Amino acid sequence: MNDDIIKIQGLSKHYHGQKVLDNIDLNIVRGEFLTLLGPSGCGKTTLLRLISGFENPDSGTVIINGHDVAGIPPHQRHVNTVFQSFALFPHLNVFENIAFGLRCQNISTPEINSRVREALRMVKLSELSQRKPHQLSGGQQQRVAIARAVVNQPLVLLLDEPLSSLDYGLRKNMQIELKQLQRQLGITFIFVTHDQEEALSMSDRIAVVQAGRIEQIGAPREIYEEPINLRVAQFIGQVNIFDTDIIEINDKALKVRIEGRELDLENRRGFRADQHIYTLIRPEDIKVWDETEVTDTHNMLPATVEQVIYKGSTVDLMIRLPSGRLIAATEFFDEDDDTLDYERGEKVWVEWYPGWEVLLPHE
């Protein structure tokens, strides 16, 4: 008996002849915080709606807690949804909004009262139970929406871009609160977002969805540091991509040509000689040296500083290579180091920590 609470197999969905989801397989582990991350229109919300039961798949199965849920209406699936627009009932007060699901199940009034009060305490809204939704702030409405869903003790909570209508500062706070809430409740969360930062900071696992397919699924760090293809790498974070020719392979060592210079890299993926590959390197993994600081220019590329953008804790550099192309580099301030002083037009050498690059084959 494995511990997958949801198993999705071969799920496909069309709208008006357009393929929205294409043969999705996905297992969701009990108690995890899984994020479906992708650009708008990639099918992530549709996937959520197939799990919740608001839509029916064209083919494939959804198994929740060991039961195939085909044909089972949303409220009998033991999953609840928190909507992007919150969808609070405008004519009911906070207490009645939260109690709605319990009342539908004909639960006794004393139990409803105690469970709603508990939910209110959990989302810190005990004082506001008599308010109407329009008398609440965005963050408070958000909490009511969450309380209204979790009070039903669902096996899985589905959250459809729940933070996207909040402003930046509030969104940061709610991210932390949501994560705490999930730990406290031990409920499986499936969270849909297009915000990679949100996904990276909250999730146990991220599934990157693009054009109706799951491109990669894994821990945030894995997704960020070991993207499986260019699409994932480009969607998550900023990345510099170099066309790379393999010149020579010597066991684990790789001699390549990037931007006309020969570099030594590690061969971790079993590439063959004469293969064209991509070298991916994140801006923050790039080191930029002043010409005068460098004696040995092995594994480095010559470049010119084009633009310096001061960001407080970091400096972002736009650097032009001799070929004419621009790359991005991010340098972190260090209390003890005052050499982070770049000027436009300054000649520099660029390198990265060996092994921090990602090599991907051409597709």
Partner 1 sequence: MMNRASKTVYIMMIYGFLYLPILVLCIYSFNNASYSSLWHGFTMKWYAVLLQDNDLLRVVIHSLTISTIAATTAVILGTLAAVALYRYHFKGKQIFLGSIFVLIILPDIVMGIALLILYHALHIPLGFWTLLIAHITFCLPFVIITVLARMSDFDENIFEAARDLGASEAIMFLRIIVPMLLPAIIASWLLSFTLSMDDVIISFFVSGPSYQILPLYIYSLVRLGIKPEINALCTIMFAVTLVLVTCSQILFKKKL
Reading the block at residue 239, the tokens are 């990345």
Name which of 119 and 208 has its Cβ closer to partner 1.
119
Q: Is 87 in the site for partner 1 (CB under 8 A)?
A: yes
Could you say which DSSP state residue 60 is in?
E
**Strand ranges in 155-198 using DSSP code E only, listed in sequence order:** 156-160, 188-193
Judged by CB under 8 A, the residue of 37, 47, 48, 88 near partner 1 is 88
Identify which of residues 13 and 282 has a Cβ nearer to partner 1 in the complex.
13
Residues 184-243 contacting partner 1, CB under 8 A: none
108 near partner 1, rule: CB under 8 A: no
Spatial neighbors of 302 by CB under 8 A, at least 6 apart, are 321, 322, 347, 348, 349, 350
For 81, other C-beta atoms within 10 Å of its C-beta total: 23
Residues 6+ apart with CB under 8 A from 198: 35, 163, 171, 175
**Which helix (H) or strand (E) segment is 296 a member of?**
none
Do 60 and 11 form a contact (C-beta atoms < 8 A)?
yes
Site residues (CB under 8 A) for partner 1, limited to 20-59: 52, 54
Give the DSSP H/E element, type plus range, for residue 239. none
Radius of gyration of the chain (CA): 25
Shortest CB 57 distance to partner 1, Å: 17
In the bound state with partner 1, the residue whose beta carbon lies nearer, of 78 and 261, is 78
By the rule CB under 8 A, 90 interacts with partner 1? yes
Q: How far is the CB of 170 from partner 1 (least distance, A)?
A: 20
> Which phi and psi angles does 261 have, rounded to 5°?
-115, 145
User: Residue 48 Cβ, how far from partner 1 at the closest point, in Å?
Assistant: 11
Of 89-97, 163-171, 230-238, 239-247, which segment contacts partner 1 by CB under 8 A? 89-97
Positions that interact with partner 1 (CB under 8 A): 52, 54, 73-75, 80-81, 83-85, 87-91, 100-101, 104-105, 132, 134, 148-149, 152
